[in-house]
Amino acid sequence: MESSLGLASFLSSAIAIPLVVWSILWKGIALWKAARRDQLGWYIALLILNTVGVLPIIYIFLVAPRHPELGSTTAAADPSQV
C-alpha cells in the first residue's frame, strides 16, 4: 500500500512541477507585454486568474498582435524629421 502512495505522490509532483513552470513562463511573458502596452485590464486579469497558461497564450498570440501601436518602443516623432 505504501509503495502505491509513493508512486502516486511521485506522479503528481512529476505533473505539477512542469505545469507550474509552464504557467509561470506564459504568465510572465503576457504580464510583461500587457504592462508595456499599458493595458491595465489585461494585466489585472492575467495576474489574478490562474488558467494554467491558457489566458496568457490567448493574450500573447491573439490580443497583443492586434494592437501593435500600443507600447511601441520607437521614439516619439521628432518635429525636425517630419
pTM above 0.85, yes or no: no
pLDDT in tens, 30-65: 999 999 999 999 999 999 988 888 999 999 999 888
Residue 43 parent element (H or E): helix 40-48
Average pLDDT over residues 22-28: 93
Domain boundaries, the chain: 19-68
54's grid cell: 491558457
